Amino acid sequence: MSVLTTNYLTPTGREEAWRFTPLKRLRGLHDGLAIQSDRETLITKGALPSGVSFVRENLEPLASSDDVIIERVRGAATSVAHLAIAANTELAEPIFLGRSAGALDTAEFSRVRITLGTHAVATVIVENTTDTVLAEDLEIYCAPGSNLKFVTLQEFESKSVYTARHHAVVDKDATFKSITVTVGGDVVRILPTVEFKAPGASADLLGVYFATAGQFFEHRMHVDHAVPHAKSNVNYKGALAGKDAHTVWIGDVLIRAAAEGTDTYELNRNLLLSDGARADSVPNLEIETGEIIGAGHASTTGRFDDEQLFYLMSRGIAMADARRLVVRGFFNEIVSEIGNEEIQTRIMDRIDTELEKAAHHG
């Protein structure tokens, strides 16, 4: 019986949701063969301001999931790391969470919850810097009138495997903005998903990724417009360089029949910096009502613009520096949204380093 269940649950790679993912490199996260460790590595950096708590407790999931790995996480995790920001708390400084410990021979199954009370305003920055195998079920609740900027930095070491769902439930007149940065790891697969609870809710899903030789980064959005007058905007930018660098961006936006007055736009741009890299980009807009304000999508994958490089070089700027300027410029639109100079500089420097690595290895 349990064998049957396992077989039924285990993705084969033929499923729509798994057709791009290199299952063999998931270190057993998808088929149950990963050895579970009891480590709980998510910690807060620095003291928490008043109105903010971070505790491990038992919590029911906010939303159901049809993702096999999330199901496994829910079965395996014994508690939920819960960051709660009380109603009416307005934080001027970001709260830092992070993981800097991990291991590759065992896997961490982690549940995380972020809760914003009504009219709370906060920025939460999650820094992942370790070498690890991690499956994460991260759920966010934005209560009415609250405002969350949620930044996740995937700066994993080179062997890491990270699969996660970042699911936000956005309530009446609440504003959710995520900035997902993926620049490190062997396999990273993130499902940034959003559901709107009531009118007036809005979500901005922004992201950048840079994959070099052999890296696989997948970002699979799902935005569910089930209520009227909610707004969503998706903008992901990626660069790829080096042999077998592979990125996947899926943008599923569903506007249900009840979701009149929806306003949504999604955009994915990829910059192919060398041969042998592959960017898959699949926007997918399903519209069940005509009574909307706007719905659109665009996806582009291209190489360096020769005209831009020529213009810069004609002012004396060497090829390598011109390329760096153009790539930085490409990412700047989104990285600058993080709103933290130190992190922005770090990410841009990392992008420079990736670009240099790519230049040396072709």
Partner 1 sequence: MSTLEIRNLQVSVDTDNGTVEILKGVDLTIKSGETHAIMGPNGSGKSTLAYSIAGHPKYTITGGSVTLDGIDVLEMTVDERAKAGLFLAMQYPVEVPGVSVSNFLRTAATALRGEAPKLRTWVGEVKDAMEALNMDPSFATRNVNEGFSGGEKKRHEIMQLELLKPKMAILDETDSGLDVDALRIVSEGVNRAKAANNLGVILITHYTRILRYIQPDFVHVFANGRVVEQGGPELAEKLEANGYADYVSK
Q: Could you say whether residue 330 binds partner 1 (CB under 8 A)? A: yes
Q: Which stretch binds partner 1 (CB under 8 A): 1-9, 59-67, 278-286, 318-326?
A: 318-326
Give the DSSP letter string of 70-90.
HHHHHHH--SEEEEEE-TT-B
Q: Which stretch binds partner 1 (CB under 8 A): 111-119, 165-173, 255-263, 320-328?
A: 320-328
Look at residues 167, 162, 164 and name the one whose alpha carbon lies nearest to residue 195. 167
Q: Could you say whether residue 302 binds partner 1 (CB under 8 A)? A: no
Q: Which stretch binds partner 1 (CB under 8 A): 93-101, 181-189, 293-301, 304-312?
A: 304-312
Burial, 166: exposed, middle or buried (Cβ in 10 Å; 0-12, 13-18, 19+)? Answer: buried
Q: Could you say whether residue 325 binds partner 1 (CB under 8 A)? A: yes
CA distance 170 to 148: 10
Rounded least distance, CB 327 to partner 1, Å = 9
Q: Could you say whether residue 240 binds partner 1 (CB under 8 A)? A: no
Nearer to partner 1, 46 or 316 (CB): 316
Nearer to partner 1, 57 or 321 (CB): 321
**Structural contact between residues 231 and 263, judged by C-beta atoms closer than 8 angstroms:** yes
Rounded least distance, CB 344 to partner 1, Å = 13
CA distance 87 to 105: 41
Query: Which listed residue (311, 349, 353, 362) binds partner 1 by CB under 8 A?
Result: 311
Q: Could you say whether residue 341 binds partner 1 (CB under 8 A)? A: no
The CA-atom distances, in angstroms, between 139 and each of 4, 82, 86, 110, 185 are 29, 10, 17, 11, 22
CA distance 125 to 347: 13
Q: Could you say whether residue 331 binds partner 1 (CB under 8 A)? A: yes
Q: Which amino acid is at 285?
A: L
Q: Which stretch binds partner 1 (CB under 8 A): 92-100, 200-208, 327-335, 350-358?
A: 327-335
β 108-116/231-240 pair status: unpaired
| Contact footprint for partner 1 (CB under 8 A) | 306-308, 310-319, 321-322, 325-326, 328-333
